[in-house]
């Protein structure tokens, strides 16, 4: 996976704790997004950003916040972790919109368990 870096790779949280998943890309991509994948299911879009200072909600935004202060970074914040947020989280980036034929690249994932 070219240039999308996620940290941490594994994290265990207690219910009610907050944390931030970090995502950085070095490809000068305008589009960045966060997906979650629950066991045996496909990825679902949480939030996305079309450029620095611009963010929007995806399919499953509740319980998550994002910000985009730089082109390179797109952190995902869990405000008050719940067991339902136990999942694998993937960050992705692309040069532009995918209906223009741009390729989206994914990070390796962050495994989050909320107990």
Partner 1 sequence: DAKTTQPPSMDCAEGRAANLPCNHSTISGNEYVYWYRQIHSQGPQYIIHGLKNNETNEMASLIITEDRKSSTLILPHATLRDTAVYYCIVPNNAGNMLTFGGGTRLMVKP
**Where does this chain bind partner 1 (CB under 8 A)?**
1, 4, 31, 33, 37, 42-45, 48, 50, 56, 58-59, 88, 90, 96-101, 103-109, 111
Minimum distance of partner 1 from residue 20's CB (angstroms): 19
Minimum distance of partner 1 from residue 61's CB (angstroms): 12
- Which residue number, 17 or 50, has a Cβ lying nearer to partner 1? 50
- Which residue number, 24 or 109, has a Cβ lying nearer to partner 1? 109
Q: Residue 83 class from Cβ within 10 Å (0-12 exposed, 13-18 middle, 19+ buried)?
A: exposed
- Give the list of residues 6+ apart from residue 89 with CB closer than 8 angstroms, or none: 6, 21, 34, 35, 36, 37, 46, 76, 109, 110, 112
- Which residue number, 80 or 97, has a Cβ lying nearer to partner 1? 97
Minimum distance of partner 1 from residue 11's CB (angstroms): 15
- Which residue number, 5 or 17, has a Cβ lying nearer to partner 1? 5
**Can you tell me whether residue 115 is helix, strand or coil?**
coil
Angle at 19 (CA atoms; ends 63, 82), nearest 5 degrees: 45
């Amino acid at each position: 996976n070219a240039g999308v870096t996620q940290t941490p790779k594994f994290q265990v949280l207690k219910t009610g704790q907050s944390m931030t998943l970090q995502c950085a890309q070095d490809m000068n991509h305008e589009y960045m997004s966060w997906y979650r994948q629950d066991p045996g299911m496909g990825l679902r879009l949480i939030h996305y950003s079309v450029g620095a200072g611009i963010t929007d909600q995806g399919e499953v935004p509740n319980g998550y916040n994002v910000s985009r202060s730089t082109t390179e970074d797109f952190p995902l914040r869990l405000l008050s972790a719940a067991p339902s947020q136990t999942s694998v989280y993937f960050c992705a980036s692309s040069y532009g919109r995918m209906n223009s034929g741009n390729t989206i690249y994914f990070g390796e994932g962050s495994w989050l368990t909320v107990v």
